[in-house]
Amino acid sequence: PKRYCILLAAGSGNRMNFPTPKQFLKLAGRTIIEHTLDMVDGHPEVDEIFIVTDRDYRSFLEEILLRNHYAKVTKVLNGGASRRESSASGIFAVEEDDALVLLHDAVRPFLSHRIISDCYRALETHASVDVAVPAVDTIIEVDEADAIAAIPNRARLRRGQTPQGFRASVLREAHERAMADEGVEVTDDCGLILRYGLGEVHVVEGEERNIKITYPEDLYLADKIFQLKTV
């Protein structure tokens, strides 16, 4: 089957308090999305890359693509107001039913080739996969009044990263169901698989350095990780 990677890059980056969306901020002299694309485009198992972006930044992204000659980028799609709508835009653009599709946050530039390979390998035997790392903090669940409602056993808790991987037909069905299901908002695609009972989601080991650049502080950390990467 054909192997896709869909990069989600349609977020506005509000939490950054910066006018430019975070995927277009610079890290070590190049935009964050270029670092992410270097990893994905350079992976031998990835056949095609789709990028989902905000209309307002489309021409900016197209300039980036012209500058770099990424051989595998075949589609640039418009995203939506929520991450769910952006991933729907990506999955509905995949034509084959049996394709293996990874969805990855463009703002996680330190994705490793090992993680990509492990996800595709897991998709040979599982319909859906997630990538996660152990929770280092104790995670507490609170109620509306900010009182602790539960403290789940940390040994069983993981922090979800991306990519998340799916057989195309399964993720397409999840998004069709979500579109018919007025008002549903789930923070990620694996959440949709669970919500609609579309089978088990296998968990692949992530990496601590596969951070999501969300807050301004993350750029400092990213800069250091980048130095580690190049030695």
> Which residue from 34, 105, 118, 218 is in contact with ligand C5P, where contact means CB under 6 A?
105
Residues 6+ apart with CB under 8 A from 67: none
DSSP codes, 122-166: HTTT-SEEEEEEE--SPP-EE-TTS-EEE---GGG-EEE-S-EEE
Q: Cα 166 to chain center, whole Å?
A: 12
Per CB under 6 A, which region of 42-50, 104-112, 129-137, 146-154 contacts ligand C5P?
Answer: 104-112
Cα–Cα distances (Å) from 150 to 144, 171, 213, in that order, read 13, 31, 28
Using the minimum distance from each CB to ligand C5P, give the nearer residue, 81 or 151: 81
Shortest Cβ distance from residue 148 to ligand C5P (Å)? 25
Using the minimum distance from each CB to ligand C5P, give the nearer residue, 36 or 126: 36
Shortest Cβ distance from residue 48 to ligand C5P (Å)? 18
> Which residue from 3, 5, 6, 9 is in contact with ligand C5P, where contact means CB under 6 A?
9
> Which residue from 83, 126, 167, 175 is in contact with ligand C5P, where contact means CB under 6 A?
83
Rounded distance between C-alpha atoms, residue 34 and residue 28, angstroms = 11
Whether residue 6 contacts residue 87, with contact meaning beta carbons closer than 8 Å, is answered with yes
Q: What is the contact mask toward ligand C5P in residues 189 to 228, using x (rule: CB under 6 A)?
A: -----------------------x-x--------------
Instruction: Give the start-end residues of each E strand in the chain.
Output: 3-9, 26-27, 30-31, 48-53, 73-78, 100-105, 128-134, 141-142, 148-150, 158-160, 164-167, 201-205
Please give the residues from 84 up to 103 whose contact with ligand C5P meets the rule CB under 6 A: 86
Per CB under 6 A, which region of 3-11, 148-156, 167-175, 217-225 contacts ligand C5P?
Answer: 3-11
Cis geometry, peptide bond prior to residue 163 (ω within 30 degrees of 0): yes
> Which residue from 5, 6, 8, 186 is in contact with ligand C5P, where contact means CB under 6 A?
8
Whether residue 218 contacts residue 111, with contact meaning beta carbons closer than 8 Å, is answered with no
Per CB under 6 A, which region of 76-84, 109-117, 131-139, 146-154 contacts ligand C5P?
Answer: 76-84
Up-side HSE of residue 92: CA atoms within 13 Å toward CB? 14
Instruction: Write out the two tokens for 223.
Output: 């800069």
Using the minimum distance from each CB to ligand C5P, give the nearer residue, 25 or 201: 25
> Which residue from 5, 16, 40, 52 is in contact with ligand C5P, where contact means CB under 6 A?
52
Q: Binding of ligand C5P at residue 106 (CB under 6 A)?
A: yes
**In the bound complex, which residue of the shown chain has the CB atom lying closest to ligand C5P?**
11
| Amino acid type, 10 | A
Residues at the interface with ligand C5P (CB under 6 A): 8-11, 23, 52, 79-83, 86, 105-107, 212, 214
